[in-house]
Structure 1
Amino acid sequence: MENNLNQDNITPTSNEGSGGEEVKKDFQGLLGSIKKFLSELLDIRTNTDQQATKEAIIADIPFKGHTSWILICSIFIASIGLNANSTAVVIGAMLISPLMGPILGIGMSVAINDIDTLKRSLKNFAVMVVLSVITAYLFFRFFPLRDESSELLARTAPDIRDVLIAFFGGLALVIARAKKGTIASVIFGVAIATALMPPLCTVGFGLAIGNWSYATGALYLFTINTIFIALATFLVIKLLRFPMVRYVNSQRRRLISRLASLLAILVMIPAGITFYSVFQKSLFMRDAGSFIDEKIVPYQFTGEGKFLKDFSEIVYSDKDNSKIELVFMGNETIPDNVIATWENQMQEYQQLKGIDLVVVQGSKSDEANELKYVNELYESQKSILSNKDERIKFLETELLRLNQISSNQIPFNEISLEAKTNYENLERMGYAYLISTDFNKTDSIPLFEVTWKKDANRSETVKDMTKLQEWLRLRLNNKNIQIKEMPKD
């Protein structure tokens, strides 16, 4: 009985141990199968033609003959498309642009220590960029239609998505180039996605109209695309283990290897800094937009007041000068306690802590600010106006509305009492904006109308008119103020 019991106790233990080992082996086999499947699925080395890839990239680097004319044509097509706000035309310009060749050459030459190819790539790339900007500048400088289309403005403010598009687009392009039997559709798709030509044309447009912010923003976008496409090329070439270029002189080989490594590091550092900076800006813009939509837009006015979201400005700066400027129009002002509440609510958003909140209110802002916002309104609407007459009519309507708002801006009661105290012959005083046009431009002039007493001496009133005008200009800090003498009753 004891032997039987012992056997009964031992047998289950043996079965459990063997069963655990079998499960472990099955699990390891499953992991091995998954690893093998993923390796076969994602491996790109086995189907890579290194020599053909290298020759194809080097063949696209030179800039002369046919390539130069193709570039010039693509510049004009892109400029016309941006000017006409035609997405289809802009895409066509991207497809025929040869700008991608030297960028791939830069990335590959650094990866394989090919100093001669690097020199050719940099030289041809520089010539292409300069020629593109000059050609676009000349087009927009002398072409009569230079409206700021949405296609143009879209290339002036890069964000984190542009960085990711450039990097992954560069990866896709080099992988497609490396495959035996190049995938042409991928190359065309990357040319469209990374959009190298439109930003350069926008640089020329910014220079042509004298808007440096447009030019620098577009150049920044082009630089981002260039750096991250070259970086992606460098990484893929390294991953595919392309053979390094060998030099007979061992000392020269070591020097070139060090220079190539240094250049790779120098490219990666600004790439990392750019990625971080653009990423931080994207987070800030997201939180600022959420703050405005969630806290400001729902605010209810009790009287005549309006929040102008389109004119409100979100300014991001790396030097702690970021701010959110909210613009309100109308006679109703925002109470100080409400503004204080908004400032406290900003602390709920991670990226808005310590950011300045500027509230511009119609009844409190000065004349310069009012005119600024009317001008911005006109600029934002002019693309939908069909001709100059409609533009003039639209602007006159907005200036009339501004005149009604600005009538409350100047402390007229105080000014009139002070004027009466200083000029005893003054009988009546009025104030309004005079809107005039010479049919080329429309001006808004602050005008005071004065009436002198009937028994006032004419020579004295003439002198008082001059003094009063100078006093009003000084008192209101406005050199454009005019005075008109009204006839006596």
Structure 2
Amino acid sequence: MSQNLNQDNITPTEEPKESAEAIKKDAKGLWESLRKFFRELLDIRTNTDQETTKEAIIADIPFKGHTSWILICSIFIASIGLNANSTAVVIGAMLISPLMGPILGLGMSLAINDIDTLRRSLKNFGVMVGLSVLTAYLFFKFFPIQDESSELLARTAPDIRDVLIAFFGGLALVIARAKKGTIASVIFGVAIATALMPPLCTVGFGLAIGNLGYAFGALYLFIINTIFIALATFLTIKLLRFPMVRYANSAKRRRIARIASVVAILVMVPAGWTFYKVFQESIFKKQATEFVNETIAKYQFVGGGRFLDNFTTIEYNEGENPMIEVVCMGNETIPPNIIASWNTMLKEDDDYPRLRNTELHVIQGGQNDQVDQLRYINELYESQKNQISSKDERIALLEAEVGRLRRAETKQIPFMDISAEARASYENLVSLEYDRAFKTNFNKVDTLSIFETTWKEGLSPAKKAEENKKILQWLKVRLKDTTVQLRNAN
């Protein structure tokens, strides 16, 4: 009996121990399986052909003979595509361009301390840039159509997305190059994504039309692409542990290693600084866009006012006061106290810390003489009509707005001339005031020209009425506007 009790007491304590050990064993097996799975999924070293990759990159570095002519033809095609605003033509040009060779050579030579390949890559990189810019310059200089298309303008202001595209594009390219049996589709895709050629074409365009801002902006984008593609190549070659180039002379080997390290640092430091600057600008523009969407875009106009989102301008001026400019059109204007509250929000709201020194400019057609309302509406209509051709109501609305503003433009009063003529014709006239008013029957809005006269003291009411009648008739004839109205101040 006691023996059975002892056995009963022992069994429950042994079973948990065996269960815990089994769980640990299963967990360990699962972990090893996961490690093996992810190693096979992500490890690229086992399927890398280092010698073939190195030979392929070195073979693509030189620009001479056939390669030079292919580059020239692709630059011409890209320039035509940019000029015609044709994305398909630009993509076709990028597919045949041999621009990647020297840039991959730069990254690889720095990674393996190959000074001869570095020197050859730098020389051919300079030839590539010079030949590309010269070809694009000659095309845009002598081609009769020099339109500033959206495809061209898109290459003049790089942002954080261009940095990321260049880095991951370069990463994909060198990984594809390193694989046994190079993946050609990846190479073509990277050529399109990183878009090295359009910035060089835009540099030539900027020089051809004398706009150095366009040229330097596009050159900056090209340098960003070059640096980050080379950086991605450098890091990948290091990760894949390509063998370093050995030199018989140990002193020369150390000197070459130091030179390669210095050049690598010179590449990486600007890359890091560029990324930081572009990242800061990206954060500013993001917060500025959020501010506009949360405040100005949500402002409720009671009358005929309208916020034009397409004409919002956000300028990030490093070291200077940045600026947000918004445009509102129509009969109603935003009160000054509302604009003041928006400026206060810019400087004090913790949700927008990057906008502390930002200047807000609210341009309103009814208040600002510098804004040509008709130009803004016409530009909006022209820029959007192809995209909204199927949206009849929006087109009709824009056409009605254009018509209203054209009618308003015809009623612009040459007030200085009118007042001078009135002063010469009516000796009892002391002052003449002019204002515009808007009248609606809730179906349409009419613009009225209203004048107000002040006559000399002591003039009888009958005389004032007579003079007012004369001056009103004269104003209607002079302005060719039968809707002119007159008020008598005294």
User: 1:148-227 alignment to 2 at 5 Å?
Assistant: 148-227=148-227
CA distance in 2, matches of 1:141, 1:26: 73
User: 1:441-452 alignment to 2 at 5 Å?
Assistant: none
Change (3 A) 1:183 1:150: same
CA distance in 2, matches of 1:328, 1:96: 46
Do 1:304 and 1:330's aligned partners in 2 also have CA atoms closer than 8 Å?
A: yes
Question: Is residue 363 of structure 2 the alignment partner of residue 360 of structure 1?
Answer: yes
Match of 2:261 in 1: 261
Aligned-pair CA distance for 1:162: 1.6
CA distance in 2, matches of 1:376, 1:68: 45
Unmatched 5+ stretches in structure 2: 387-401, 435-490
Change (3 A) 1:75 1:377: farther
CA distance in 1, matches of 2:72, 2:433: 61
Change (3 A) 1:212 1:400: farther
Match of 1:21 in 2: 21
Match of 1:140 in 2: 140
Aligned-pair CA distance for 1:398: 10
CA distance in 2, matches of 1:37, 1:200: 44
Question: Is residue 273 of structure 2 the alignment partner of residue 273 of structure 1?
Answer: yes
Change (3 A) 1:147 1:429: farther
Aligned-pair CA distance for 1:139: 0.8
SS in 2 for 1:327: strand
CA distance in 2, matches of 1:293, 1:416: 44
CA distance in 1, matches of 2:260, 2:408: 62
Unmatched 5+ stretches in structure 1: 387-395, 432-489
Match of 2:450 in 1: none
Change (3 A) 1:343 1:240: same
Q: CA RMSD in A?
A: 3.4
Match of 1:451 in 2: none
Change (3 A) 1:399 1:119: farther
Aligned-pair CA distance for 1:401: 6.4
CA distance in 2, matches of 1:264, 1:136: 31
Question: Is residue 352 of structure 2 the alignment partner of residue 350 of structure 1?
Answer: yes
Amino acid paired to 1:30: L
User: What's the CA shift string for 1:18-65, capped at 9, x where partnerless?
Assistant: 211221121111111110111122221122111111111011111111
Match of 1:243 in 2: 243
User: What's the CA shift string for 1:325-371, capped at 9, x where partnerless?
Assistant: 112234533112211333355426335541322222223324xx325
Match of 1:47 in 2: 47
CA distance in 2, matches of 1:183, 1:206: 36
User: What's the CA shift string for 1:140-195, capped at 9, x where partnerless?
Assistant: 12111122222212222222222121111111111111111111111111111111
Change (3 A) 1:255 1:52: same
Task: Give the TM-score of the pair, scaled to structure 2.
Answer: 0.76
Question: Is residue 12 of structure 2 the alignment partner of residue 12 of structure 1?
Answer: yes
Aligned length: 416
CA distance in 1, matches of 2:164, 2:115: 28
Task: Give the TM-score of the pair, scaled to structure 1.
Answer: 0.76
User: 1:404-443 alignment to 2 at 5 Å?
Assistant: 416=419
Match of 2:288 in 1: 288
SS in 2 for 1:311: strand
Aligned-pair CA distance for 1:382: 6.6
Amino acid paired to 1:154: A
Match of 2:468 in 1: none
Amino acid paired to 2:371: E
User: What's the CA shift string for 1:405-464, capped at 9, x where partnerless?
Assistant: 975xx9x599959x969x989999999xxxxxxxxxxxxxxxxxxxxxxxxxxxxxxxxx
Match of 1:109 in 2: 109
CA distance in 2, matches of 1:255, 1:286: 46
Change (3 A) 1:415 1:277: farther
CA distance in 2, matches of 1:34, 1:385: 55
CA distance in 1, matches of 2:412, 2:262: 61
Do 1:105 and 1:121's aligned partners in 2 also have CA atoms closer than 8 Å?
A: yes
Do 2:310 and 2:380's aligned partners in 1 also have CA atoms closer than 8 Å?
A: no
SS in 2 for 1:319: coil
Match of 1:310 in 2: 310
